[in-house]
Amino acid sequence: MCGIIGVVSHSPVNQLLYDGLQLLQHRGQDAAGIVTSQGRTFHMHKGSGLARDVFRTRNMRDLLGNMGIAHVRYPTAGSASSSAEAQPFYVNSPFGVVLGHNGNLTNTDALRQELFRQDLRHVNTNSDSEVLLNVLAHELQESTSHHRLDVANIFQAVAGVHRRCRGAYAVVAMIAGYGMLAFRDPYGIRPLVVGKLETEQGPEYMVASESVALDALGFTLLRDVEPGEAIFVDEAGRFYSQQCAQRPLLSPCIFEYVYFARPDSVMNGISVYASRLRMGERLADKIRREFSHLDIDVVIPIPDTSRPSALQLANELGILYREGFIKNRYIGRTFIMPGQAVRKKSVRQKLNAMAVEFKGKNVLLVDDSIVRGTTSRQIVQMAREVGARKVYFASAAPPVRFPNVYGIDMPTRAELLATGRTDEEIRREIGADALIYQDLDALVAAVREGHPDIPRFDTSCFDGDYITGDVTEEYLARLEASRSGVAADPDGAGTRQLDLNLRTA
């Protein structure tokens, strides 16, 4: 998962972009980058680490111009340790184009070959985002008349990107001397919103992964960028938009609402916070139906994402809600840390259990999801160590049994605790006295209630139903081989043989 932002203003944008990255830092902690445009000159600074560590005063002074884009990276494709893959990426032909990308392409290998053999373009890193940039650059070149771009040419180029690229992509780009371009894949899997600020000099525009960036920086949320749509804002601040896909179908990633997005964001017309409250309501309904025999003394969330769900669940069941874990704010999100060893080490550094809330009690722990299970296992153990009599565990999401190939770092099936295991086997693995999973239809209903007109959601990590229709068993095997050579058991016991029935749209 990554965070992207772009601004066209009447005053310098360097501080706006930096502040926007801080607001989107939860979407990626591996690298950060900013590019600003001053006439036909780009100014770029990027590097590995948090935004606060990448940018110093001297760097900010060099980021001149009233238009710019920025990116925070969490590695999904390519190398997690390579600073060369920090975004935005740049190509000098045609015109000069920079691009930041949130998502993951599923036909990168084929595109890389096309670019080299047919388009005569060289891709220098393993990043699918650089592939996407070169596809866009080639399509811009093909659409250009007399070496001059107009808005129609730009939208024609985006249509060409849609024809060639598969997978998930929310994109923000700049074309030197022309303006800022943003577009979304035909399924709208990854989020992208656009906002406006009225000033004395005229309107200013911002695009961002989440609405929280607009709100905090004074912009008014206009709407989401539609699936397949492109918007273009020229250097003078004129706004253009056009649908560039032949058959768009809004299918946003439901895991954004479960875990990734900030609760104060609104995406696809749905409040993330309200959707998490509704997840708690539906989880309470399931406990009433199927787990009424459990004697629960207290509901405790695993901070931070699960708090709204846990609070609403407790309210619905009339059970005491308490904060039992204290979080160290200076440790990164364990789910997006590269490397299982780092993830295991960080859990106890990140959370500390308060014995006063656990001792002698039957505790229901609520988390947003269970992915690899490492964190869940250690948290259950922590609760027992401080005196909990019984430890029940509830997940606001269904079992994660399939890889997410659209931009979330869960690509190997053997890393997923639920793959090939029953709920009872999972319960034993994490050491809980009871395990309650949200049902998939209940999760979809909880999110869809915020926008009933959304035709479907991408739920592939729960049900193996891949909306783009090109994710096969062979594709997943190649992805896993490129990641680790073999699919390792998350508990270190060796490779498990997995028999999966993949469904494609």
Question: In sequence order, which residues have a C-beta less than 8 Å from that of residue 139 and are 6 or more positions away?
Answer: 156, 157, 158, 160, 161, 164
Which residues belong to the annotated binding site? Answer: 305, 367-368
3-state SS assignment for residue 374: helix
Write phi, then psi, for 475 (nearest 5 degrees). -60, -45
Alpha-carbon radius of gyration of the chain: 23
Query: b/e per residue, 117-134, with b = 16+ CB within 10 A?
Result: eebebebeebbbbbbbbb
Taking the C-alpha atoms of residue 233 and residue 235, their distance in angstroms, rounded to an integer, is 7
Specify the amino acid at residue 81. Answer: S
Which sequence positions are flagged as catalytic?
2
Nearest to residue 68, comparing CAs of 100, 101, 34? Answer: 34
Enumerate residues 6+ apart whose C-beta is below 8 A from 308: 263, 273, 276, 277, 279, 280
Tokens 């607009």 locate to 214
The DSSP secondary-structure symbol of 419 reads T
- Using CA atoms, how far apart are residues 144 and 131, in angstroms rounded to an integer? 20
Pinpoint the alpha helices (H) of 351-499: 374-385, 423-430, 440-448, 460-463, 473-484
Cβ–Cβ < 8 Å for 395, 370: yes
Give the residue numbers of the binding site for Mg(2+). 305, 367-368
Residue with tokens 């979080």, as numbered in its chain: 327
Half-sphere exposure of 293 (CA within 13 A, CB side): 3
SS3 content of the chain, % helix, strand, coil (to 5): 35, 25, 40
Q: What is the DSSP string of 157-226?
A: HHHHHHHH--EEEEEEEEETTTEEEEEE-TT--S--EEEEEEETTEEEEEEESSHHHHHHTTPEEEEEPP
Helix (H) or strand (E) holding 43: strand 41-48
| Contact of 96 with 40, CB cutoff 8 Å | yes
Are 473 and 110 a contacting pair, CB within 8 Å? Answer: no
Is residue 370 helix, strand or coil? coil
Look-up of token digits 């309650």: 436
CA separation for the pair 175, 95 (Å, rounded): 7
